[in-house]
Amino acid sequence: MYKALTIAGSDSSGGAGIQADIKTMTAHGVYAMSVITALTAQNTTGVTGIMDVSKEFLEEQMDCVFTDIVPDAVKIGMVSSEGLIRSISKKLKQYGAQNVVVDPVMVATSGSRLITEEAISVLKEALFPLADLLTPNVPETEVIAGIKIKTKEDMVKATKMIYNRYGCPVLCKGGHFGNDADDLLYIDGEIHWLKGERYDNPNTHGTGCTLSSAIASNLSKGYSMIEAVKLAKTYVAKAIDDNMNLGKGRGPLNHMWKIMQCDDNFIF
């Protein structure tokens, strides 16, 4: 059994954060574990509240996981404050965590802010150097690189800047850019455009969380980074294209699209 850990915030509406991650890892046949950084009160229309856990309790959760069922891969999502980021960094180093995917979550699909301004610089300094892959979307890439992205050439430029600064592979996700869903993977000094068709579906709550936990699942199984990202992109595309339509705002994906293609007798 391959094992993956998500370190992220809980989404009460089940489409993003910890819930999306656990569904995704489970759909990949991977044993999922969670270290919860915060509770959020949110639904498909927005986030109404955030309650961070204490540093001590976050570290206690990490100790419990890493001293028992050691994860083959780790995905990090929403971490809203400096102290929690430093605690995660300390514990990842202490336990020599493998296959670390960092999704630098800043703003929810609904537009709500999920990290403080001060915490962004700590994220860069304490967490990015530990990442085996960084997965910013275009607005996050702009913030991290410090340049505006108007064209695909800008996307390449900003992604290279981040790669050179932090020394880790970068996947710049194109879900917020242009008429396609092309993502840019920069790894080992080479550019790989991962082409994607854009589906005309407003229900994209949690696409980023789902992609990063699918990548972590694939890495836990031993796939190369490029293969892990390509497979994850296909999984997300199919979960969007399944056209589930829940909630009053931007609804969640169908993480279980594959299982629901099986007949009931197979599942039970």
Residue with tokens 């407003």: 202
The least distance separating ligand ATP from the CB of residue 194, rounded to whole angstroms, comes to 8
Q: Which is nearer to ligand ATP, 35 or 209 (CB)?
A: 209
Q: Which of 21, 52, 132, 183 binds ligand ATP (CB under 6 A)?
A: 183
The least distance separating ligand ATP from the CB of residue 109, rounded to whole angstroms, comes to 4
Q: Which is nearer to ligand ATP, 168 or 181 (CB)?
A: 181
The span of 5-13, 159-167, 234-242, 256-264 binding ligand ATP (CB under 6 A) equals 234-242
- Build a one-symbol-per-residue string for 197-236: x at contacts with ligand HMH by CB under 6 A, - elsewhere: ---------x-xx---------------------------
- Build a one-symbol-per-residue string for 8-47: x at contacts with ligand ATP by CB under 6 A, - elsewhere: --------x-------------------------------
Q: Which is nearer to ligand HMH, 9 or 71 (CB)?
A: 9
Binding-site size for ligand ATP (CB under 6 A) equals 23
Q: Which of 14, 17, 169, 196 binds ligand HMH (CB under 6 A)?
A: 17
DSSP structure string for the chain: --EEEEEEEEETTSSSHHHHHHHHHHHTT-EEEEEEEEEEEEETTEEEEEEEPPHHHHHHHHHHHHTSS--SEEEE----SHHHHHHHHHHHHHHT--SEEE----B-TTS-B-S-HHHHHHIIIIIGGG-SEE--BHHHHHHHHTS---SHHHHHHHHHHHHHHH-S-EEEB-TTSSSS--EEEEETTEEEEE--PPP--S--BTHHHHHHHHHHHHHHTT--HHHHHHHHHHHHHHHHHT----SSSSPBP-TTTTGGGS-HHHH-
Which active-site residues does the annotation give? 173, 204, 206-209
Q: Beta partners for 34?
A: 6
Asked if residues 206 and 15 have their Cβ atoms less than 8 Å apart, the reply is yes
**List of residues contacting ligand ATP (CB under 6 A):** 16, 109, 137, 173-176, 181, 183, 196, 198-199, 201, 204, 206-209, 211, 233, 236-237, 240
**List of residues contacting ligand HMH (CB under 6 A):** 8-9, 11, 16-17, 40, 77-78, 105, 108-109, 114, 206, 208-209
